[in-house]
């Protein structure tokens, strides 16, 4: 099986797994202790959580605090629902966590259009009365990198806060400059599933979304998992060290894939893009048939969350693809451990299967 679905989730880095094991250990070592307990094993677990917090914070801008959450969906919900300040503007290609939290907030919403390149115009008109602007750093379906630094400035000009969903960019490219709130998740950067974080710039007031025992300085109640925190921290530390090498590796894989799938059209910007994500379309392609013919390749039609509904991807239609073109798109997601041989084998198999369909 060749895994090319790194936007859906990434494998756990061996280093992250190693870092988790002591906190999953059995009765004698007491790695299982509650990090909110005052006794010695509890304090040891709390110390591991704080090391992890520093490691995650090192991926983010200076001058803010990391609160651990169950993932990015929770972090985004907290940022949107617990910072009620007026209307919410978000890009037409945001993840459904942003869209649905904004709709659930009851605030008036404004959808910021994207170009055919899949980019928000940094000079886009933002409605008066907007309290929060949310634009993601890297799109999960087409890999486009948004001009978030300028959009954060624009948000501030109208007196709004700027939320950046950095799930697909964290640990891969430099953090979004100028953001007030940043959401990220461990399982997209070779860490474990079930943990993410909300970074809040110092001085920005956020109310808790989850109430209880007052953990995480009262911002997010509930017992933390030291194992998940340690895995997240180790994955973040590794990502920081490997950022350039990973980027080079993925750029090479993307070029290789494009040279084999040379007649397929690229969805989204050619230039402002994350190389680990290749979204391609081929007129007339029957995606379910392709998937069934290429059962030994784990790849996707659009986003993992949206697939299976039958509806054409919201992101692909937002960049101007007709429903039939959107339905004949594939997403190949490469990762740190993907080899050139795997990309070559997978792309050749995909091309052969497409030719067999007569497209």
Site for ligand PLP in 255-314 (CB under 6 A): 305
Residue 71 in contact with ligand PLP, rule: CB under 6 A: yes
Which of these segments, 71-79, 84-92, 102-110, 201-209, binds ligand PLP (CB under 6 A)?
71-79
Minimal distance, residue 183 CB to ligand PLP, in Å: 7
In the shown chain, the binding pattern of residues 17 to 56 toward ligand PLP, with x for contact by CB under 6 A and - for none, equals ----------------------------------------
Q: Which of the residues 103 through 142 are near ligand PLP (CB under 6 A)?
A: 136, 140
Return the range that interacts with ligand PLP (CB under 6 A); candidates 21-29, 126-134, 164-172, 322-330.
Answer: 164-172
Annotation marks residue 347 as catalytic: no
- Non-local (6+) Cβ contacts of 277 within 8 A are 6, 7, 138, 139, 140, 141, 142, 143, 168, 331, 332, 333, 334
Candidates 67-75, 81-89, 144-152, 316-324; binding stretch for ligand PLP (CB under 6 A) = 67-75
User: Of all residues in this chain, which one has the CB nearest to ligand PLP in the complex?
Assistant: 71
- Closer residue to ligand PLP, CB minimum distance, 33 or 316: 316
Three-state secondary structure of the chain: CEECECCCCCCCCHHHHHHHHHHHCCCCCCCCCCCCCCCHHHHHHHHHHHHHHHHHHCCCCCCEEEEEECCHHHHHHHHHHCCCCCEEEEECCCCHHHHHHHHHCCCCEEEECECCCCCECCCCCCCCCEEEEECCCECCCCCEECCHHHHHHHHHHCCCEEEEECCCCCCCCCCCCCCCEEEEEHHHCCCCCCCEEEEEECCCCCCCCECCCCCHHHCECCCCCHHHHHHHHHHHHHHHHHHHHHHHHHHHHHHHHHHHCCCCEECCCCCCECCCEEEEECCCCCHHHHHHHCCCEECECCCCCCCCCCCCCHHHHHCCCCHHHHHCEEEEECCCCCCHHHHHHHHHHHHHHHHHCCC
Cβ nearer to ligand PLP, comparing 80 with 282: 80
* Shortest distance, position 165 Cβ to ligand PLP, whole Å: 5
Among 95, 201, 249, 331, binds ligand PLP (CB under 6 A): 95
Q: How far apart are CA 276 and CA 66, in angstroms?
A: 26
Segment near ligand PLP (CB under 6 A); pick from 52-60, 125-133, 161-169, 249-257? 161-169
> How many chain residues are in contact with ligand PLP, going by CB under 6 A?
13
The stretch near ligand PLP (CB under 6 A) out of 41-49, 70-78, 257-265, 330-338 is 70-78
Q: Give the contact letters, 179-198, x = binds to ligand PLP (CB under 6 A), - = no.
A: ------x----------x--
Q: Which is nearer to ligand PLP, 33 or 269 (CB)?
A: 269
Cα 351 to Cα 59, 207, 340, 344, 347, distances in angstroms: 38, 51, 16, 11, 6
Instruction: Report in angstroms how near the CB of residue 193 gets to ligand PLP at its nearest.
Output: 7
Q: 13 or 46: whose CB is closer to ligand PLP?
A: 13
Q: Which is nearer to ligand PLP, 286 or 307 (CB)?
A: 307
Q: Which is nearer to ligand PLP, 168 or 313 (CB)?
A: 168
Structure tokens at 60: 């983010």
Token pair, residue 172, equals 């891969």
Rule CB under 6 A: choose which of 10, 55, 67, 73 binds ligand PLP: 73
Picking from 167, 184, 240, the residue whose alpha carbon sits closest to that of residue 13 is: 240
Exactly one of 52, 68, 82, 165 binds ligand PLP (CB under 6 A); that residue is 165
Q: Which positions lie near ligand PLP, rule CB under 6 A?
A: 71-73, 95, 97, 136, 140, 165, 167-168, 185, 196, 305
Q: Looking at the annotation, which residues are catalytic? A: 305
């Amino acid at each position: 099986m060749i895994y090319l679905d790194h936007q859906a989730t990434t494998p756990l880095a061996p280093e992250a797994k190693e870092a988790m094991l002591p906190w999953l250990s059995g009765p004698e070592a007491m790695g299982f202790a509650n990090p909110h307990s005052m006794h010695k094993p509890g304090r040891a677990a709390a110390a591991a959580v704080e090391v992890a917090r520093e490691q995650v914070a090192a991926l983010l801008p200076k001058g803010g605090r990391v609160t651990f959450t169950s993932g990015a969906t929770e972090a985004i919900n907290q940022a949107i629902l617990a910072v009620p300040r007026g209307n919410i503007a978000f890009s037409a290609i945001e993840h459904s966590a942003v869209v649905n939290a904004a709709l659930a907030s009851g605030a008036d919403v404004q959808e910021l259009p994207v170009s055919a390149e899949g980019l928000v115009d940094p000079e886009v008109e933002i409605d008066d009365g907007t309290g929060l602007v949310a634009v993601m750093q890297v799109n999960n379906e087409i890999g486009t990198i948004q001009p978030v630094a300028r959009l954060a400035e624009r948000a501030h000009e109208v007196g709004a806060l700027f939320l950046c969903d950095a799930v697909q960019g964290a640990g891969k490219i430099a953090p979004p400059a100028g953001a007030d709130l940043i959401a990220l998740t461990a399982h997209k950067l070779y860490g474990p599933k079930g943990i993410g974080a909300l970074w809040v710039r110092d001085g920005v007031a956020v109310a808790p979304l989850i109430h209880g025992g007052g953990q995480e300085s009262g911002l997010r109640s509930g017992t933390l998992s030291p194992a998940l925190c340690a895995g997240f921290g180790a994955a973040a530390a590794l990502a920081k060290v490997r950022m350039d090498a990973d980027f080079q590796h993925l750029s090479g894989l993307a070029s290789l894939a494009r040279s084999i799938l040379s007649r397929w059209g690229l969805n989204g910007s050619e230039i402002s893009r994350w190389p680990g994500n290749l979204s391609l379309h081929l007129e007339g392609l029957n995606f379910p048939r392709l998937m069934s013919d290429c059962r030994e390749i784990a790849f996707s039609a659009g986003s993992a969350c949206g697939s299976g509904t039958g509806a054409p991807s919201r992101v692909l239609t937002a960049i101007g693809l007709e429903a039939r073109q959107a339905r004949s798109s594939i997403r190949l997601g490469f990762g740190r451990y993907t080899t050139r041989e795997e990309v070559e084998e997978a792309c050749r198999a995909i091309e052969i299967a497409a030719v067999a369909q007569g497209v």
